[in-house]
A and B are shown apart, each in its own frame.
Chain A
Amino acid sequence: MSIVTVQLGQCGNQIGFEVFDALLSDSHSSQGLCSMRENEAYQASCKERFFSEEENGVPIARAVLVDMEPKVINQTLSKAAQSGQWKYGQHACFCQKQGSGNNWAYGYSVHGPRHEESIMNIIRKEVEKCDSFSGFFIIMSMAGGTGSGLGAFVTQNLEDQYSNSLKMNQIIWPYGTGEVIVQNYNSILTLSHLYRSSDALLLHENDAIHKICAKLMNIKQISFSDINQVLAHQLGSVFQPTYSAESSFHYRRNPLGDLMEHLVPHPEFKMLSVRNIPHMSENSLAYTTFTWAGLLKHLRQMLISNAKMEEGIDRHVRPPLSGLPPRSKMSLNKDLHFNTSIANLVILRGKDVQSADVEGFKDPALYTSWLKPVNAFNVWKTQRAFSKYEKSAVLVSNSQFLVKPLDMIVGKAWNMFASKAYIHQYTKFGIEEEDFLDSFTSLEQVVASYCNL
């Protein structure tokens, strides 16, 4: 089944390009470590999900590009065409001349309604091209104006017009400082709106990925292009085909649906995050070998101790012993030690994958009391290796990972709101103080729910 990707704003479009590029180059890779027949099945499945065929054989990404100013889209289109391997559809973009000025209200209340029809038309055309349609993957940032404001508006529209299809939003959490001054306002408005209209929020933090680039990849001067490539690698390892439970050669047909089913059992808990292992520069890759036992042990510890990458993991954190009274409400003031999960999904790719032992993830102590591990934990495997990594594991987790960052953003936004700074920029376009208060309320609710796990 096919997924239609909607790329919004500068961030969404820049990342979207890297994602499709990563998906296709992995699919064409010759180091799959599997049989040719296996490889072909993999390629076919990947193509069906993310690309459509054209007459001359160049795959066209199933994507819609939206931005309120033309520079980034033009760049993205030409980069894709230059690669020679794939490209974007000719009529798949919507563009205006003047951006949203980092103003959520402008993106949501002005650009949204003004361009609603045109944008939804382009999306509809893309959906009609799919033989069998699985759902939407919407890539956006929450700090800016277009990705965040227009993104929230479009997601709401998709909820109205395609209520039977799934929607997963890939949201970029901005750096703690220095990108956009009003990013906290834009973030809380985006998250509160999306919590209502989206099915799952896959969140990636710029700070975390920056650390990966610095510590694991040893990149000296980290650019956004480096960051986007790491992100694309992570997303690729989640979305590339995996076996369905039955047998080899049968790739999972509905990845979005399966992801949602496994990871979002309750509408109050929609925040997902991704951790993948190993991750290193290509030079180091040649000299390292891994075992599944080693990888999975690290990954489990990353989950428990809330580590963002495989370096600097706190080894002292342990799950609570069973038999003791259940954990009381998590206090945000203390250092968050043990990360409780609602649901986890581990995806393993590569050599000898059948021998990998995931029992460690089925420990009931890892999970909240109202879900048994048999329901909360799933593992997907595939023999075919991903992107030159002989073995790779990725964890998609619905857990308390994001509570602290969310709490911080809400706190900062609240302080700013109390002084009424910048509010006039939003009320100018129809977002009133009540809307802000609504957003604060919803997000405090989310924080409280996650804390109480």
Chain B
Amino acid sequence: MTQSVVVQVGQCGNQIGCCFWDLALREHAAVNQKGIYDEAISSFFRNVDTRVVGDGGSISKGKICSLKARAVLIDMEEGVVNEILQGPLRDVFDTKQLITDISGSGNNWAVGHKVFGSLYQDQILEKFRKSAEHCDCLQCFFIIHSMGGGTGSGLGTFLLKVLEDEFPEVYRFVTSIYPSGEDDVITSPYNSILAMKELNEHADCVLPIDNQSLFDIISKIDLMVNSGKLGTTVKPKSLVTSSSGALKKRHKKPFDAMNNIVANLLLNLTSSARFEGSLNMDLNEISMNLVPFPQLHYLVSSLTPLYTLTDVNIPPRRLKPSLQFVSWNQEGWKTSLCSVPPVGHSHSLLALANNTCVKPTFMELKERFMRLYKKKAHLHHYLQVEGMEESCFTEAVSSLSALIQEYDQLDATKNMPVQDLPRLSIAM
């Protein structure tokens, strides 16, 4: 059984991370009735005897003493992390797993990446090494961050290079929150594009999440809940709509429900690796099957049931593919079956797709970027940081353009007839 470490960077990353840990605890509590520290829990939690001072407290088997999350929390301002440490999840985190600063990155990728990157590089490396040491067999780093801000975007992507150098064999799964069109951070296009270049080069798999889509989903649910049409479509007490049983009392903050969806996504992603089933799928299998070319590693995700009671009994391979696949991968399905359902549901289905539908999102992002860049608006904030030059911007844009072009080429093959290529002929 393998372990994974979650790295939450910036305000967005930490808030989502918090939701994730809350859900993970609930899920394991539902499954693990006897309180034994088993392999499934050990994938995300350590079992620690808190009476022992220092590092020696890890317990590998037996009853659960005190669970500590395998996480590293990084933020360049203290507000969010402090709130977590005063909230109900405070015992789940080790103070030694935090890196904080006071002033924040000012929504500036350059500050996050270059300034704080070099300032905290050693500390960050040390925290990572420590968390890796606590793992028997570390398989994956899950990095959660947003693309539009300064810390999550800048420092979050700086980490990728560090992880790639230090732990080349460990997978880097990045959950990136892309800003919506009405994002209140004006420089979010700059930050996003600069971060994208790093994601292109140093991440194994990226799960892009669009804030706008999350918002739409939540509005739809709210509409249904409030109009009283519960029962048929909206499942009461599902993890998304209800907060009963949650450790964290919902303060009705606008992002809570959205973060919850993302946290659910991460849980579902790892379920097959943690629990048993008749057709297991490990995280390295996700990368192997869904990434045909190293550049094209953006996976769009969809999750059901979020709010409906659709019958998910049909194994996906029976679905008539009404999707258009590339000619060289006509049956590009990978299936996995896990016997343990999530809390509050009897079934659930997670679909990950490597799909050219990410192209419009990227193109829109590029357009927003160009609008600012053409006028050189706000550029001086970035250029005054040591190490930043205009070439950073131009390189980032060309990296994105190259990616868009690759997707373009694949789209171009869409309506062409499928031709079987001539095979090798054998002389008999």
Contact = CB atoms under 8 A, between A and B. Distances in A.
Contact of B317 (A103, A175, A424): A175
A419 interface: yes
A101 B284 contact: yes
B374 interface: no
Nearest to A425: B288
Contact of B278 (A14, A70, A99, A103): A14
Given A70-B1, A75-B276, A414 B284 contact: no
Contacts of B276: 71-72, 75
Contact of B328 (A100, A101, A416): A416
A431 interface: no
Contacts of B2: 69, 97-98
A289 B282 CA distance: 47
A290 B134 CA distance: 64
A111 to B, nearest CB: 12
A14 B293 CA distance: 33
B313 interface: yes
B284 A99 contact: yes
A179 B282 contact: no
A415 B289 contact: no
B426 A448 contact: yes
A415 B421 contact: yes
Nearest to B331: A177
A421 B292 contact: yes
Nearest to B171: A101
A226 B330 CA distance: 28
A72 B426 contact: no
Nearest to A96: B137
Interface stretch (B122-130, B252-260, B332-340, B379-387): B332-340
Contacts of A97: 1-2, 136-137
B47 to A, nearest CB: 17
Given A182-B289, A415-B327, A224 B279 contact: yes
Contact of A414 (B1, B289, B423): B423
Nearest to A99: B282
A416 B423 CA distance: 12
B412 interface: no
A170 interface: no
Interface string B405-428: 000000000000000110111101
A219 interface: no
Nearest to A75: B276
Interface stretch (A29-37, A345-353, A370-378, A437-445): A437-445
Interface in A276-299: none
Contact of A445 (B39, B285, B317, B426): B426
A121 interface: no
Given A97-B136, A445-B426, A421 B328 contact: yes
B328 A181 contact: no
A182 B287 CA distance: 11
A411 B333 CA distance: 18
Interface in A40-70: 69-70
Contacts of B428: 448, 452
B316 interface: yes
A178 B316 contact: yes
Given A97-B1, A419-B328, A445-B426, A71 B421 contact: no
Contact of A179 (B1, B291, B326, B335): B335
Q: Which of B137, B290, B331: most chain A Cβ within 10 A?
A: B331
Given A418-B421, A424-B293, A176 B288 contact: no
B106 interface: no
A145 B334 CA distance: 14
A412 B421 CA distance: 10
Contact of B313 (A179, A221, A444, A452): A221
Contacts, number: 124
B interface, how many residues as a size bin?
Answer: 35 or more
Contacts of B287: 101, 425
A180 interface: yes
B347 to A, nearest CB: 13
A223 interface: yes
B294 interface: yes
B54 to A, nearest CB: 27
Interface in B128-183: 136-137, 139
B329 interface: yes
Given A14-B278, A414-B421, A425-B288, A441 B426 contact: yes
A190 to B, nearest CB: 16
Residue of B2, B288, B335 most packed against chain A (CB within 10 A)? B288
Interface string A338-358: 000000000000000000000
A420 B426 CA distance: 22
Contacts of B279: 10, 179, 224
A176 B317 CA distance: 10
A145 to B, nearest CB: 8
Nearest to A449: B428
Query: Which residue among B291, B329, B332, B420 has the maximum number of chain A CB atoms within 10 Å of its CB?
Result: B329
A414 B284 CA distance: 24
A162 interface: no
Given A71-B1, A179-B279, A424-B294, A102 B328 contact: no
A147 to B, nearest CB: 13
Contacts of B335: 178-179
A225 interface: yes
A423 B426 CA distance: 24
B104 to A, nearest CB: 38
Nearest to A184: B331
A72 B337 CA distance: 13
A396 interface: no
B282 A69 contact: yes
Given A444-B425, A444-B426, 17 more contacts: A10-B280, A69-B280, A71-B280, A97-B2, A97-B136, A98-B137, A98-B284, A101-B287, A178-B316, A179-B333, A179-B335, A221-B313, A414-B423, A414-B424, A418-B421, A424-B294, A425-B291
The 10 A-B residue pairs whose C-beta atoms are closest, nearest first, are A178-B317, A101-B284, A421-B292, A97-B137, A177-B331, A178-B333, A419-B328, A181-B289, A224-B278, A102-B285
16 contacts: A69-B280, A98-B2, A101-B288, A145-B285, A145-B288, A178-B335, A411-B420, A411-B423, A416-B329, A419-B327, A419-B328, A420-B293, A421-B293, A424-B294, A444-B423, A452-B428
Interface of B: 1-2, 39, 136-137, 139, 276, 278-280, 282, 284-285, 287-294, 313, 315-317, 321, 326-335, 337, 420-421, 423-426, 428
